[in-house]
């Protein structure tokens, strides 16, 4: 297998560090708009990776250029480690080149014009699923939403349906952490562009009788007790891919996603929205040399905040991603929480990557290895829950990153 990794930011760099310890691939081409980032990611791997990893420059928004790179390098699969703005050009490039495709976030949504907090407009992933027949005809697999959330959380949902329950009432993704960053009042541990997108868009909820519908941002607060010493965290509804993916393959009466943001973080996001600083529409501003330039307010916010990938040395604590499932087993009520915890001290010591980006990065590498082995295979546009969860969970554990399960109540 030859892999084209597009995006050499925090998650992309963590992917190279994890993959470098495995032998399932013949070559890893690391490409970024900034060639220095790609070169730095490869150089950091040292002599052991020489010949297996190469750095290239590519513009992720240029479908033709990415297609050409896939063909020139003879890559079997494109792994997308960019932010969601570049999902569709990369998705189209892989299809055009006859390569498999894998991402960790899906094509962007657009709120309903008249009733944004009641009715879905364009949903996450709609643009990708609209091309499903073309992917099926190509005989290639587009594995979408294969990070940690979405990704591992979806694998947990399928595992629960197959192994733990006879009937499922609700599947709820619950994400929480006790991470702290020394020296910063506000330093998000993940890409702020994506965080603003998912937190300020109308959250989507699925109910079997109603289908998909939306609510107000930060709705339905609840306190969820997270394992491994993280403790209670207030979680709220947030737009996320699992709610759009899980019901396609897993029978559940209700599906939700709730994120532990905290009052302070929610307050800052509300302020950004009130000031229009979450907007992606370019505005005209005057640069330092007196020239006018067009720039989106959200990109300015991102530029003003520290790069999450650089925060590991200042960060302490753990992050937890997991899937809470409520239903019936052998005629009796049952609730479980399937989860994956990463301690920042461990991920920094072992890989030099902070916990949140490492936890996101390990899952697509596991998926690639299963694809290389032929244990995960298919054609079309599929989510993680469309594939057998057992080999994934076994291999994740073999990577030195075990998962856990807690009986609730």
Query: For every one of its 409 residues, what pLDDT tens digit does the chain have, with 9 covering 90 and above?
Result: 999 999 999 999 999 999 999 999 999 999 999 999 999 999 999 987 888 999 999 999 999 999 999 999 999 999 999 999 999 999 999 999 999 999 999 999 999 999 999 999 999 999 999 999 999 999 999 999 999 999 999 999 999 999 999 999 999 999 999 998 888 777 776 678 788 887 889 999 999 999 999 999 999 999 999 999 999 999 999 999 999 999 999 999 999 999 998 888 888 888 988 989 888 889 998 878 888 889 898 988 888 887 777 877 888 999 999 999 999 999 999 999 999 999 999 999 999 999 999 999 999 999 999 999 999 999 999 999 999 999 999 999 999 999 999 999 7
C-beta contacts of 271-277 below 8 A and 24+ residues apart: 272/196, 272/200, 272/301, 273/200, 277/301
Judge residue 219's burial from the number of C-beta atoms within 10 Å of its C-beta, 0-12 exposed, 13-18 middle, 19 or more buried.
middle
Residue 184: its pLDDT value, please?
A: 77
Residue 177: its pLDDT value, please?
A: 95
Residue 305: its pLDDT value, please?
A: 81
Length of the chain: 409
Residue 242: its pLDDT value, please?
A: 98
Residue 190: its pLDDT value, please?
A: 67
Model pTM score = 0.93
**Under a CB-based contact definition with an 8 Å cutoff, are residues 30 and 373 in contact?**
no
Give the residue from 23, 10, 9 showing the smallest Cα distance to 365: 23
- 369: Cβ–Cβ under 8 A, 6 or more apart, which residues? 22, 24, 395
């Amino acid at each position: 297998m030859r892999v084209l990794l597009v995006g050499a930011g925090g998650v992309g760099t963590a992917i190279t560090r994890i993959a470098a310890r495995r032998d399932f691939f013949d070559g890893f081409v690391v490409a970024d708009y900034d060639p220095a980032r790609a070169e730095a990611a490869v150089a950091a791997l040292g002599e052991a990776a020489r010949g297996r990893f190469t750095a290239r420059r590519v513009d992720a928004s240029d479908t033709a250029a990415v297609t050409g790179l896939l063909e020139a390098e003879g890559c079997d699969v494109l792994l997308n480690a960019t932010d969601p703005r570049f999902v569709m050009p990369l998705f189209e490039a892989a299809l055009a080149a006859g390569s498999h495709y894998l991402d960790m976030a899906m094509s962007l949504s657009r709120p309903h014009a008249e009733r944004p907090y009641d009715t879905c407009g364009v949903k996450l992933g709609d643009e990708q699923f609209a091309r499903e027949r073309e992917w099926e005809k190509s005989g290639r697999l587009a594995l979408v939403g294969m990070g940690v959330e979405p990704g591992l959380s979806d694998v947990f949902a399928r595992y629960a349906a197959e192994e733990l329950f006879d009937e499922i009432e609700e599947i709820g993704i619950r994400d929480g952490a006790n991470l702290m960053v020394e020296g910063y009042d506000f330093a998000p541990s993940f890409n702020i562009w994506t965080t603003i997108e998912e937190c300020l868009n109308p959250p989507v909820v699925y109910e079997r009788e109603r289908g998909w519908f939306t609510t107000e941002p930060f709705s339905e607060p609840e306190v969820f007790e997270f394992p491994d010493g993280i403790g209670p965290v207030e979680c709220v509804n947030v737009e996320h891919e699992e709610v759009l993916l899980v019901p396609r393959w897993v029978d559940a009466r209700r599906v939700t996603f709730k994120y532990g943001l905290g009052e302070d973080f929610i307050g800052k996001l509300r302020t950004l929205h009130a000031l229009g600083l979450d907007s992606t529409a370019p505005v005209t501003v005057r640069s330092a040399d007196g020239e006018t330039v067009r720039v989106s307010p959200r990109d300015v916010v991102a530029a003003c905040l520290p790069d999450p990938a650089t925060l590991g040395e200042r960060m302490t604590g753990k992050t937890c991603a997991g899937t809470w499932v409520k239903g019936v087993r052998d005629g009796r009520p049952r609730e479980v929480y399937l989860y994956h915890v990463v301690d920042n001290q461990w991920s920094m010591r072992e890989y030099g990557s902070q916990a949140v980006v490492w936890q996101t990065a390990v899952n697509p590498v596991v998926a690639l290895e299963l694809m290389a082995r032929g244990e995960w295979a298919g054609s079309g546009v599929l989510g993680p829950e469309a594939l057998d969860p057992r080999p994934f969970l076994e291999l994740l554990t073999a990577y030195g990153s075990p998962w856990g399960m807690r009986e609730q109540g």
